[in-house]
Structures are given as structure tokens and as C-alpha cells.
Structure 1
Amino acid sequence: MVHHTIRTSSSRAIKASRKINHMNRRFRIVLGALIVGMLASCTTRQPAPTGPREPPPLTTPGPDTAVLGPPVKKTASRWTPVRWSDLPGFSQDNMSEAWNAWIKSCERPMPTVGRLCNDVRRLSLATADEQRGWMQAHLQPYRVEPLDGSSTEGLLTSYYEPLYQASRLPLSGMNVPLYRPPAGVAPKKPWFTRQQMETLPEARAALAGSELMYLADPVDAMVLQIQGSGRMLVTEPSGAQRLVRLGFAATNEQPYKSIGKWLLDRGEVRDATWPGIKAWIFANPDRTQELLWSNPRVVFFREEPLSELDAQFGPKGAQGVALTPGRSIAVDPGSIPYGAPVWLSTTGPQANLQRLVMAQDTGSAIRGAVRADYFAGWGAEAGEFAGRLKQNLRLWVLWPK
């Protein structure tokens, strides 16, 4: 390998070094100017802030003296505009409880009322008076009436979420099955009746393999189907227990027949509340099957996990959001749309209530203009309340202006 040597004179090297030093000084001057310019640019051209802005001040409602418009007709009701002073107890309600239910409705916002959701969320920590003031400024109350305006009163009943012990396998003394929808069950297609499901071999064969779990009492199974959902403390084959929810999945598309009405029509009872029905069953155990078969409708369920958070709310209603005890009602959607805030008033031996509730559910027996089913919660105490509540009702829809 041949090495080549580069030769230079010392004077040329000195000149080159001076030239490089001069260039370095010029470079440092230019670089410094650029840095100063960039810093100046940063201080004079700040980016627009991206954080949340302060909410606008709350609107204070003016005097409640505006001219009221004409009634509004719906499919199954008529809405007559009224003044806020016509709502009994409006200034006394604990709005924070209702606001939780309203925020739940905003998880599945419905047309028209859904545009209120930003304000509803913003007001979640406001005082009750601030929430009332916002409602008065943005909503118009309408009294709900039948289409012919014949009466302003209707019927309030109540429902709840039962809590039962269950077994994953059939056991002695716990062998009443609850089913998921079997093959062949479809909307608007009548399937076997309750009696046929228990007596016909072809119906029993169609149900085989659809068992979810088993209860001890056929009356409890009927109650669960009427309520539409329930909480089950189920014992697994391993012996472990866990809490799950059974939610409504489908029906056999047979008509619902009230067992209470069946007893009344035959003069068997004068009290057709659940306590009255249970007393009759206790006195007539040999006729329990006859009573249950009088209702041909059967509900099929789906199993849902029940987390600690889920357990604080009820099952999902027809709107698709979890129900809030004491603040969710089932309505006829032809009278009141899902997601609507509603003012409810009832007085009677079981309850005196004047409060804000949310229309979040419906039911096969909930039909008519002034008709509601009040979600009481879950467990035995809620069941006792729901089983007895049957009294007068007045409703007002609170609709965006």
C-alpha cells in the first residue's frame, strides 16, 4: 500500500486559519440574530388557547307572563301549555337526584330534547335554584291530556327490579326454569303460550338447551317476567355465587293478561295488588298453576354482568339508558317521547310525589295519555312499594322553547 503525503507552507496555513476564524465570528453573529428573532416571534405570536372555556353565565328567567300558545297534538295525547306556577311542588323538589337521571338520558340523546344536553351536563354541579332557573328560561311546561281533553288525571303504577336466589343447575326445590330466547322466537310471530310451554312435548323440546338458571318459586318467575328484569344471586356448579342481571330479551308474542284482573273478574279477591294476590295464592296453593296459566305471555331474558357501578342503577329501559330509582318512568311513547323531562304529581295512600322525572322506558300495559309506571328501585322494599302503588296521576311535559 502506497501512502501519499500532503505538503503545505506555514504562511498559507495561517491565512486559512484567520479566514476560518472570521467566518466563525460571522456565523455566530448570524446565528445569534436568528435565535433572538425566534424568541421575539415566540413572545409576540402566542398560539390560541385550547383549554376549556368558562361556561356562560346562567340565564335568569323573566316574569312568567308570556302569551301561551295553542295545544299541541301528539299520537296519543294533547299537550296544553301552562305556567310554571301550575306545577305543584316545583320549588321544593331536590333537583340533583333528577339531574343524574337527565345526564343518563344524555348518553342516548333523543331528537329535540337532546340539544339541551350540553347545558344539562354543565349544570350538574349547580344549585337546585340555578337548575330551576335554567329550566324556566329554556323549557315550556305542557299539561298532558287525552286527545279529547276529557280528563287531566290518569293512572300511576310502579315497577321494580326483583332480587332472587337462583341456581345454574336444576335442584330439588329449585327447578323453575328461566329461558333465553329459543330458536323460532321472533318479533310479531306468536309462539307457544305459557301453558303450552309447560305441557306440550314439542314446546318443551323447542325450549331444551335455552335454560339460563332456575328459581324455587313459579310465582317469582312470573313476577320477574312482569317486571321485565331482575338481579339474580346465582349459585354456579362449582358452588361459587355471583350477582348478575337478567335483562329483557324477547317475548313469546302472546297477549299480556293481568292475573290480578283474572282474580277480580272471578270474584276471588277485592285487593288485586301483589300483596293481595300473594295472600290468595297462599290460601289456594292447588290453584296456583291455573292462575299463572291465565297469562299466556312469557318473557325471555339475556344475562348481563353486574359491576359495582352498574349495581347503582337499574336495568336499561326502552330508551337504552340505565334507569334511576325514583326518577325514571315508563310511558306510552305515543303520548310522551323517550328522553323528555316530565313533572309528575300524585297523591294517595301509598305516596305523595311532586317531582321531576325522565321518560326512559315503556311497557306492554303502559298505554294512554296520562299513564306512567314509576321505577322504584330493586329488592324487597322496592317490591313492596311497587306492589301497592296504584293511584291518581297528573303529568306535565317540559319541552324546549
Structure 2
Amino acid sequence: MTRLAAALALAIGLPLAAAASPKLVSFEQLRGWREDDHDAALSAFLETCGDLDARDWQALCGLAREATDARAFFELFFQPVLVEGGRDALFTGYYEPELRGSEVPDGRHVAPVYRVPDDLPSEGPWLTRQEIEQSGALKGRGLEIAYVDPVDLFFLQIQGSGRVRLPSGKVIRLGYGGANRQPYSSVGQELVARGVYEPHEVSAEVIRAWVRRNPSAGRALLWTNRSYVFFREVNEVPAERGPLGAMNRSITPMRTLAVDPAYVPLGAPVWLETEGEAPLRRLMVAQDTGSAIKGAQRGDIFFGTGRLAGKRAGRTRDGGRMVVLLPIQRAWDMLPQTLADPA
């Protein structure tokens, strides 16, 4: 590791192994920076900045509450830092599903949405998805929040939050409660590995359709993802607000980014540049995490709630880059030299 990498790790409070290849860049090097809606980004930043403990972050949060020019605030008090960790950049999308469900099993809604079991160990892997579903290990223990379609449950667990609409009209809002700590694996990649689809053909809708056409093989396919997520009810969050993220605050559509906290501090502003069918040039905030989000240049964009958001999220699989905005003194203390060359 270079001295610069070690300095960056110390500056942002990350493990030394995390800061593999940092580089300071200027705001002029952020493509589309001037054209973004910085007021929207500032609102998202204010949602969680009060929970950051460090003095410099707290000072900036106080200044953010009084800021009248959002772009000037970010440019005056932050330094863009590009951190690369060896893997290719990948940006995907996620959303908050809204599902049909029932309080008791019926013809279609037979998969229980479980609360966290009391005997879930605090460390180490627990039962796999297949073991939980095939053995009925949790059945009859009063852990059932609602019942939904089995395929919908699988994708609900991937997203980590959602809403279940009952026949009575009541809506149960679900937040992430815990997991079995088994490794996550992509069933889409599994279908590609089997030669069923080409990589560009795979999406959430394609996977759903394949599983429904092949019930037995589809169930076995879902079991290849050993990870299993438990939920909790979060009905105290108003319907018009976003679901709770990793910082236990409501997240914002198209302004919240799920990141790997080994590389990006939660609560930090992040400039995102993606390529693909609908390129993004946008200031976001690192307010969430995910079991599949690993690496310095790996991010997951929150698209919002409902079916349309789900379609947009499912089509997103783009390259690009993200640049973390750090408190300016924190960034510059690590490197008493001029800005790096344009990235």
C-alpha cells in the first residue's frame, strides 16, 4: 500500500486495506457538476448528517442547515476524492416493492415474511435459504408478519424493504430486520452460467418469468442464493417518505446510493457518473448498504417505490465512476500537494 493510500484510510476512518488507490480531483473534473440540482442533494444530505459523530461532519451539518446556495456549500467545504479498489465499476438499482399479500395463507400468498428469530446467532452463518424453506424450521413460532407470493418474497429480500397491501386495504411497511449471514449469490448470473440467457438478457422481470414457467427448477434456482433476510414492521414511517436505509433514516429516490462502507463513509455525499442507456450525472448521498454491494466503485441507486421504480432499477447495470466528497480539511491533511491529474 502507498503512503497516500494509508493516509486516506486514516483520514476517512476506514481500514487500511480499503483505500487501495485514492486520488484527489477538482469539481471541474466532475462531468455535469454545474448542471445538477444541488438543492435536492443538500436535502438528502440533511436527512442523515445529524447522525454523523465526528466533529468535522457535525460542523458541516450545521452549516448545511443554514446554506442558501447548495452548490457553493459543497464546493466550499468538501474535497472530491476518487477511490479505486481494483474491481471494475458497477452501478445497479434497487427499489421498495409494493406487494399483494394476506394475513393468513391463501391460494397464492403462501410464503411467510418472517421477523427475526430469537435464536438467530449473533455471529457466523445460520440456516440456508433452502434449509429454512424446505424444513419449515420457523413455522408455527409466531414470526409471520404476512404471507406473499414466494417469488415476490425472494425479490423483497433482495431489496431489503417493501410494502405489503392486504385484502382489507391495510398496508404493512417492512424494513430490514436481519439475515442468516449466508453468502449472497446472483440467480441471474446462475442462469447465465447455465447457458439459459446471455448477460444482457437478464433482468428481474426475466428471472421472475423463468421461475414462474419452471416451478420446480425455479425453486431450486432461488435456493442457490443461500442468503435469507428477515424483516420488521416500520409503520411509523409516513407513507410519503422513503423506506429506512442503513442509517435508520428515510432514503430519497434518485439521491440515495447504497455503498460498501469499507470504502465509502455512510452519510458522505458521493458524485455519481454512470454510462449506459440513461447516463446519470448526479450528487447523491451514501445512506445505505447491501450484501451484494462490495468494492470501492460499486453502488446501488435507490429508484423509489412501486412497479415503475422496480422496472427502472431492474434495467440498471452500468459502468462509470463515483467520487466521494469528504470534509475539505480531512481530505487535504493527507496530501500536502496539488490536485491529481484529471481522471
Structure 1 counterpart of 2:74, from 135, 139, 161? 135
Other-structure match for 1:59 = none
8 A contact 1:269–1:276 mirrored in 2: no
Residue 347, structure 1, aligned to residue 280, structure 2: no
Residue 331, structure 1, aligned to residue 259, structure 2: yes
> Which whole-Å CA distance do the structure 2 matches of 1:157 and 1:399 have between them?
23
Residue 391, structure 1, aligned to residue 318, structure 2: yes
8 A contact 1:163–1:378 mirrored in 2: yes
Residues 326-355 of structure 1, C-alpha deviation per residue, up to 9 Å, x if partnerless?
Answer: 000011111110111111111212x21111
8 A contact 2:270–2:283 mirrored in 1: yes
Other-structure match for 2:83 = 144
8 A contact 2:64–2:73 mirrored in 1: no
Instruction: Give the letter aligned to residue 294 of structure 2.
Output: R
Structure 1 counterpart of 2:165, from 223, 230, 233? 233
Residue 184, structure 1, aligned to residue 123, structure 2: no
8 A contact 1:167–1:214 mirrored in 2: yes
Give the Å deviation of 1:122.
0.9
Structure 2 counterpart of 1:245, from 145, 170, 173? 173
Other-structure match for 1:113 = 57
Give the Å deviation of 1:158.
0.8
Q: How many residues align?
A: 314
> Which whole-Å CA distance do the structure 1 matches of 2:274 and 2:228 have between them?
31
Residue 214, structure 1, aligned to residue 147, structure 2: yes
Other-structure match for 2:294 = 367
8 A contact 1:197–1:204 mirrored in 2: yes
> Which whole-Å CA distance do the structure 1 matches of 2:51 and 2:302 have between them?
19
Percent of matched pairs sharing the same residue:
40
Structure 2 counterpart of 1:312, from 217, 240, 245? 240
Give the Å deviation of 1:299.
0.7
Other-structure match for 2:99 = 164
> Which whole-Å CA distance do the structure 2 matches of 1:110 and 1:327 have between them?
22
Instruction: Give the letter aligned to residue 324 of structure 1.
Output: T
TM-score (norm 1): 0.74
Q: Which one has more relative contact order, counting CA pairs under 8 Å at least 6 apart?
A: 2
> Which whole-Å CA distance do the structure 1 matches of 2:179 and 2:45 have between them?
29
Instruction: Give the letter aligned to residue 254 of structure 1.
Output: Q
> Which whole-Å CA distance do the structure 2 matches of 1:131 and 1:389 have between them?
28
> Which whole-Å CA distance do the structure 2 matches of 1:332 and 1:381 have between them?
26
Structure 2 counterpart of 1:79, from 12, 16, 22? 22
Pairwise CA RMSD of aligned residues? Answer: 2.0
Residues 146-180 of structure 1, C-alpha deviation per residue, up to 9 Å, x if partnerless?
Answer: 2xxx57x6110111100011111222322211111
Give the Å deviation of 1:110.
4.2
SS in 2 for 1:73: helix
> Which whole-Å CA distance do the structure 1 matches of 2:53 and 2:89 have between them?
25
TM-score (norm 2): 0.86
1:343–1:299: structure 2 CA closer, same or farther, 3 Å change rule? same
> Which whole-Å CA distance do the structure 2 matches of 1:260 and 1:231 have between them?
24
> Which whole-Å CA distance do the structure 2 matches of 1:204 and 1:243 have between them?
24
Give the Å deviation of 1:198.
2.4
Other-structure match for 1:154 = 89
Gaps of 5+ in 1: 1-68
SS in 1 for 2:209: helix
Instruction: Give the letter aligned to residue 372 of structure 1.
Output: G
8 A contact 1:275–1:387 mirrored in 2: yes
Other-structure match for 1:91 = 34
8 A contact 1:193–1:297 mirrored in 2: yes
1:136–1:199: structure 2 CA closer, same or farther, 3 Å change rule? closer
Instruction: Give the letter aligned to residue 169 of structure 2.
Output: Q
> Which whole-Å CA distance do the structure 1 matches of 2:324 and 2:182 have between them?
32
Gaps of 5+ in 2: 10-14, 329-343
Other-structure match for 1:297 = 227
SS in 2 for 1:367: coil
Residue 193, structure 1, aligned to residue 128, structure 2: yes
8 A contact 1:158–1:387 mirrored in 2: yes
> Which whole-Å CA distance do the structure 1 matches of 2:74 and 2:38 have between them?
11
> Which whole-Å CA distance do the structure 2 matches of 1:306 and 1:393 have between them?
37
SS in 2 for 1:80: strand
> Which whole-Å CA distance do the structure 2 matches of 1:291 and 1:354 have between them?
36
Stretch moving more, 73-82 or 371-380: 73-82
Residues 286-345 of structure 1, C-alpha deviation per residue, up to 9 Å, x if partnerless?
Answer: 4221111111211111112155xx223322211222110000001111111011111111
Residues 10-51 of structure 1, C-alpha deviation per residue, up to 9 Å, x if partnerless?
Answer: xxxxxxxxxxxxxxxxxxxxxxxxxxxxxxxxxxxxxxxxxx
